Amino acid sequence: MLLTDGSPAAFRVAGLRAADYAEIRVERARMTDLVWRGDGLESSVTSRDEGCCARVIGPAGSSFASSTVLDAAAVLRRAKRDASALGAATGRLAGHRPYREEPVVEFGEPAERVGVAEKTELLGSYHAMALAAHPSVTGALVYYRERVADVELVTSEGTGIGYRRRDLTLQITVYADGGAARTAGSVSVGSGGDFSVVRDLAARVESAVATAVDLRDAPVLEAGTYDVVCDGPLSGIWAHETIGHLAEADHHLGDAGLQRSLAAGCRLGPPVLTITDHPGRPGARGFVPVDDEGTGGEPVALLREGVVARPRLHDRSTAAAFGETPTGNARALSFRHPPLPRLRTIAIAPGAASEEELIGGVGRGLLARGVLGGQTDRAGFTFMPAECREIRDGEVGRLVRGVVLSGEVLGAFEAIDAVGGEQWRGDTSASCGKQGQHPLPVSSWAPPLRLRGIRVHPG
């Protein structure tokens, strides 16, 4: 251990009282960022990002301090000083199930073992390919990012653990001249550090080019209410932005309305709908076997057969506030941030419907694939699919452009009437943002969903 080997000496020296809880987290990260824009490679940057943070929670006040100077004792003293001088609230933490370190699981092709030259050649070929693919292409962005961080956590309770976080994302966006607006097609992949996911993407780049080019001549959809079949990636984002964020327990603090709406036993959706927040699997972005408070991860069933099962995802502070058990969802983006209740891998259980059955049951609707953007304020949502095609009388038809799906979060669960049988488990480059902590890696496992009567408006 870099710090104290779990010894509480550092905490005694800082002058903590018996009732105070304190923790120190040290992080050493290496990052590689490669960006292609315009004619070619725009930047190639490697970064060493290191620092530590301390959190003090106790009857006299609570505070969090961070520093890029790797002096754990100094940052703990600052946190203690701020808690006494500036903090006001009394804090407390729930007891938790400490994580027991497990053997490191090897997976795929660790990105840090692939040289920069090889990465540059491979990813640059995608950029060149996109630019040369069609005369209407006006530009392409290729943005690759990898991060490997070694984290050590020591607490005044005696916890002393270390863990490694890996993340890798690749976003390729191709733009074409669509007259008054640009049209876009994209490729979005990610992993928990496995470089192999960015190999062999030529066919997907070609498909992104085709989408951007074809959208130029696609008609703008007429605003109205449509039945929408969402593919797995879009369904996963939808679940993350709706039930996922609603279940983060800090949002429940002081919000009696949300507590009522999401009380255990409330029916929100049809019996075919079961949604779980999961600690994920090795090699995926949302793999969180231990959270940043040292709590071991466990699956949390949010909706079981349409009924709220466990309504809250906790850190130790929110668990104490609600008299519940920490769930392993306390996540911090880096040493610069305190842990918050955050999602990991949102999983919609597969149903029984085939894609043909999902589409065949639609008279007037849309087949929406992938996602360009999405946002929720926990009351409403808006999503912009990457690609949308009309469905008429059970047949998939022409491409349409500028589609935005919107609605009320709680009302949308009732709109689901069928769940596909094939659960998608790939990662994308989409990350989660909350209270300035972005981009936090997350995953989703989701089958296609069919939603009835969704409000759609065009751009």
Site for another protein in 429-458 (CB under 8 A): 455, 457-458
Check binding of 4 to another protein (CB under 8 A): no
**Interface with another protein (CB under 8 A), residue from 374, 420, 441, 448:** 374
In the complex, least distance from residue 367 CB atom to another protein, rounded to whole angstroms: 19
Identify any residues that bridge with 178 across adjacent strands, giving them in sequence order: 181
Check binding of 382 to another protein (CB under 8 A): yes
298-327 binders of another protein (CB under 8 A): none
Q: Which is nearer to another protein, 83 or 362 (CB)?
A: 83
Other beta carbons less than 10 A from residue 185's beta carbon? 28
394-413 binders of another protein (CB under 8 A): 402, 404, 406, 408
Q: Which is nearer to another protein, 158 or 411 (CB)?
A: 411
In the complex, least distance from residue 413 CB atom to another protein, rounded to whole angstroms: 17
Binding mask 335-364 for another protein (x = CB under 8 A): -x-x--------------------------
Check binding of 101 to another protein (CB under 8 A): no
In the complex, least distance from residue 138 CB atom to another protein, rounded to whole angstroms: 3
In the complex, least distance from residue 105 CB atom to another protein, rounded to whole angstroms: 29
In the complex, least distance from residue 377 CB atom to another protein, rounded to whole angstroms: 5
123-142 binders of another protein (CB under 8 A): 137-141
217-276 binders of another protein (CB under 8 A): 223, 254
Q: Are 276 and 247 in contact (CB under 8 A)?
A: no
In the complex, least distance from residue 271 CB atom to another protein, rounded to whole angstroms: 29
**How far is the CA of 12 from the CAs of 4, 67, 137, 203, 209, in angstroms?**
12, 20, 63, 59, 61
In the complex, least distance from residue 173 CB atom to another protein, rounded to whole angstroms: 8
Binding mask 8-47 for another protein (x = CB under 8 A): -----------------------x-x-x-xxxxxxxxxxx
**Interface with another protein (CB under 8 A), residue from 8, 49, 112, 301:** 49
**Interface with another protein (CB under 8 A), residue from 10, 14, 20, 62:** 62
In the complex, least distance from residue 265 CB atom to another protein, rounded to whole angstroms: 27
Q: Are 243 and 222 in contact (CB under 8 A)?
A: no
| Span from 63-71, 96-104, 344-352, 414-422 in contact with another protein (CB under 8 A) | 63-71
The residue type found at 181 is A
**Positive or negative, the Cα torsion across 313, 318, 321, 323?**
positive
**Interface with another protein (CB under 8 A), residue from 22, 26, 111, 184:** 184
**Interface with another protein (CB under 8 A), residue from 229, 384, 446, 451:** 384
150-169 binders of another protein (CB under 8 A): none
Q: Which is nearer to another protein, 18 or 180 (CB)?
A: 180
In the complex, least distance from residue 349 CB atom to another protein, rounded to whole angstroms: 28
Q: Which is nearer to another protein, 60 or 396 (CB)?
A: 60
Long-range Cβ contacts of 262-266 (<8 Å, 24+ apart): 262/308, 262/311, 262/312, 263/308, 263/311, 264/308, 264/309, 264/310, 264/311, 265/307, 265/308, 266/307, 266/308
**Interface with another protein (CB under 8 A), residue from 69, 132, 202, 352:** 69
Q: Which is nearer to another protein, 61 or 269 (CB)?
A: 61
**Interface with another protein (CB under 8 A), residue from 89, 104, 203, 256:** 89
In the complex, least distance from residue 264 CB atom to another protein, rounded to whole angstroms: 26
Check binding of 117 to another protein (CB under 8 A): yes
